Structure 1
Amino acid sequence: MISAIAKTIFQRAIEDYHRYDEIDHPMENPYDSQSLEHLLYLKCWIDTVQWHMEDVVRNPDIAPEEGLNWKRRIDKQNQIRTDTVEYIDSYYLQQFHHVQVKDHARVNTESPAWAIDRLSILALKIYHMELETKRTDVDQAHIASCRSKLDVLLAQRKDLSQSIDELLVDIASGEKYMKVYKQMKMYNDPSLNPVLYRKIQ
């Protein structure tokens, strides 16, 4: 099942990042560049880097200019994240292109890759919430609160994993079909963001 594979790959990507814990440390993807595993590792690495960018930009003592620079980096990173999700959906579109869709087939509320995107973010939440439960510089109330939150996150991952696996089975059998929409993020497009295209003119 893809959720189990993704869970293992996401954990590896997160642990690999934290061996250095540097936003600009180069990624060394261990998987074949043509494989789904490569895309999953890349996806979680991108998410992990962005997670730590978001931490940095929320420093209340950050200088305004530095904060703006980080915000722009986060915007670029988010576009890369979106592109990678669409690459994963392209993989599944190719994988299922031969499936005979049944007359009663339904489209899902989200594509496989966007569900996998949520699974990657959950992996990061679980990793960091678990770290919180191991802190020695906080009181027991904090530890208990984080353990409770961790239990919820683990349950959420279990449910989401099952849903992803069932979705892919349904698509493979023709019970559901993929319908993928490009995200069309307008704020990054100089021809669609009024602030940008008015400046160009």
Structure 2
Amino acid sequence: MDFSAFAYKIFQESIDKYHVKNDVYQPFANPYAKDDIARLLYRKNWIDTVQWHYEDIIRDPDIEPKAALNLKRKIDASNQDRTDLVEFIDSYFLEKYSAVDVKEDATINTESPAWAIDRLSILALKIYHMQEEAERTDASAEHINKCSDKLNVLLEQRKDLSTAIDQLLADIESGSKYMKVYKQMKMYNDEELNPVLRKAP
């Protein structure tokens, strides 16, 4: 099985499990072992799935300001967790391909494997929710048709992105491409870099 198909299967498991309760405050349990890359993929998608629903909730026009602020902070924390998980996944690939003999004319990709896989995780969520919309029984025929068309585009995008991910991994494994990981230098959570936090007592 190609890595993209393997990852997508894990993402679907996470999404399906979340929607059993469909509650952003439900407890999280990872079914995979600590030394299994599936554990990182499952956790990564769970973070994305919870944040997807955070983003729905915060757009409620009647949300109380205090609740909105609390939720905004949860979204910020979720974004940091998401970034951390992407970096952990890239570390897995760095270790996996550490012994590859990189060719002299090897090139670097515009993004690392894990950031491409991050996009696949988000795409899995888009497909899940667009399929929900396309299958609604309480919506107009026009709505169903529009969502069905969008779903077809998303499915094509999944095919293209999966192909690109698997090709990138094959190129890295063969030494035709090499990968570098630049840690995300987020500034807004850092007391030394965020001037607002720096001024705080």
Which category describes the TM-score, using the shorter chain as reference length?
over 0.9
The alpha-carbon deviation at position 162 of structure 1 amounts to: 0.3
User: What amino acid sits opposite 2:135 in the alignment?
Assistant: K
The alpha-carbon deviation at position 22 of structure 1 amounts to: 1.0
1:4 equivalent to 2:5? Answer yes
Residue in 1 that maps onto 2:182: 181
What TM-score comes out, normalization by structure 1 length?
Answer: 0.98
1:26 equivalent to 2:27? Answer yes
Residue in 2 that maps onto 1:75: 76
Alignment of 1:76-155 (within 5 A): 76-155=77-156
- Deviations along 1:38-79, one digit per CA (max 9) or x if unpaired, are 100010001000000010001011011111110011000110
Structure 1 gaps of 5+ residues are none
Distance 1:21 1:188 in 2: 29
- Deviations along 1:135-177, one digit per CA (max 9) or x if unpaired, are 1221111000000100010000000000000000000010000
User: What amino acid sits opposite 1:63 in the alignment?
Assistant: E
What TM-score comes out, normalization by structure 2 length?
Answer: 0.98
Distance 1:52 1:189 in 2: 26
Identity of aligned residues (%): 61
SS of structure 2 residue aligned to 1:14: helix
Number of equivalenced pairs:
200
Distance 1:94 1:50 in 2: 29
Structure 2 gaps of 5+ residues are none
Distance 1:2 1:191 in 2: 39
Residue in 2 that maps onto 1:16: 17
User: What amino acid sits opposite 1:189 in the alignment?
Assistant: D
For the aligned residue pairs, the C-alpha RMSD in angstroms reads 0.7
Residue in 2 that maps onto 1:167: 168
Which runs of 4 or more aligned residues in structure 1 lie more than 6 Å from their structure 2 counterparts after TM superposition? none
SS of structure 1 residue aligned to 2:200: helix
User: What amino acid sits opposite 1:3 in the alignment?
Assistant: S
